[in-house]
């Protein structure tokens, strides 16, 4: 049980509905994007960006309906601020950022809803500095999804070890990149051609690989110590009763 789930007492029926909607929207959005491309729907860049924004609603509604104590908000606030600061500080190094490492560790330690909200907020707030646009909902969705997936596998013993956590971060970074590249193809490549798709994914591969390597670099020194530290914080302040195995 995650912190958000544990505190969702006032509206249990609404929370149950949102628990179902969350994974549905995560899966439905990429399918909707692909359908727009297949059926050549006009204004796909704007339409899919609106759809990406709407896909965030169940997660933020869950957050609003959950009656959280100040201590339960601490992981979201601290990790979001750390992610924003990391993205801004490393701005001179294109695509080499600690954001995905922070989001993955948040999801693994505090659960899928906290992971999603943290990833989404990092991109929403940091884009005040980097610039908002139709890409913002997709960035929020992509990093939020990474946090959600990390939170969904948090109880697997495999992810109590450093190397599997690093591999997970590497894979989720590439998944995020592929989703953003696909949105670029669907939204801005007109007409969609094999050459254009190949060029887009080829250019994106170098960018995604740099991001994935950055995630590995930032995860390696902390993948073992930070989760253990988070476990002690959770026990001390009663944030989450689920503690990792030793």
What is the per-residue pLDDT for 212? 97
Q: Let me know if residue 244 belongs to a domain.
A: no
Would you say residue 147 lies in a domain?
Answer: yes
The number of folded domains in the chain is: 1
Distances (CA, A) of 80 to 25, 123, 215: 23, 9, 16
**Counting Cβ atoms within 10 Å, is residue 80 exposed (0-12), middle (13-18) or buried (19+)?**
buried
CA-only gyration radius of the chain, Å: 18
What is the overall mean pLDDT for the chain? 90
Q: For 42, phi and psi rounded to 5 degrees?
A: -70, 160
Residue 136 lies in a domain: yes
pLDDT tens string 67-109: 788 888 999 999 999 999 999 999 998 889 999 999 999 999 9
The CATH number that applies at residue 98 is 1.10.1760.20
Q: Is residue 97 part of a domain?
A: yes
Range of the domain at 195: 3-237
Question: Does residue 73 fall inside a structural domain?
Answer: yes
Phi, psi of 185 (to 5 degrees): -65, -50
**Residue 167 placed within a domain:** yes
Helices 112-130 + 99-110 axis angle, to 10: 160
**Who's near 143: CB < 8 A, 6+ residues apart?**
99, 100, 103, 119, 120, 122, 123, 176
Q: pLDDT tens digit string along 186-229?
A: 999 888 899 999 999 999 999 999 999 999 999 999 998 999 99
- What one-character DSSP code corresponds to residue 160? G
64 domain residue, yes or no: yes
The closest of 111, 110, 116, 115 to 234, measured between CA atoms, is 110
- Copy the structure tokens of residue 241: 């009763």
């Amino acid at each position: 049980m995650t912190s958000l789930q544990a505190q969702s007492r006032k509206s249990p029926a609404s929370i149950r509905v949102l628990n179902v909607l969350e994974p549905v929207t995560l899966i439905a959005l990429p399918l909707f994007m692909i359908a727009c491309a297949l059926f050549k729907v006009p204004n796909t860049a704007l339409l899919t960006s609106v759809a990406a924004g709407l896909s965030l609603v169940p997660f933020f509604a869950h957050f609003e309906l959950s009656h959280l104590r100040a201590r339960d908000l601490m992981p979201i606030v601290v990790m979001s601020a750390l992610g924003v600061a990391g993205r801004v500080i490393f701005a001179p190094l294109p695509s080499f950022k600690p954001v995905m490492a922070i989001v993955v560790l948040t999801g693994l330690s505090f659960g899928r809803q906290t992971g999603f909200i943290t990833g989404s907020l990092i991109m929403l707030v940091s884009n005040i500095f980097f610039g908002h646009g139709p890409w913002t909902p997709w960035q929020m969705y992509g990093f939020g999804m990474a946090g959600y997936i990390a939170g969904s596998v948090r109880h697997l013993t495999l992810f109590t070890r450093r190397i599997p956590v690093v591999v997970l971060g590497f894979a989720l970074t590439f998944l995020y990149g592929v989703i953003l590249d696909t949105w670029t193809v669907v939204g801005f490549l007109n007409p969609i051609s094999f050459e254009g798709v190949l060029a887009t994914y080829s250019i994106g591969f170098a960018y995604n690989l740099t991001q994935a390597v950055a995630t590995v670099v930032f995860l390696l020194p902390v993948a073992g110590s930070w989760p253990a530290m988070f476990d002690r914080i959770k026990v001390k302040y009663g944030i989450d009763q689920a503690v990792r195995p030793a």
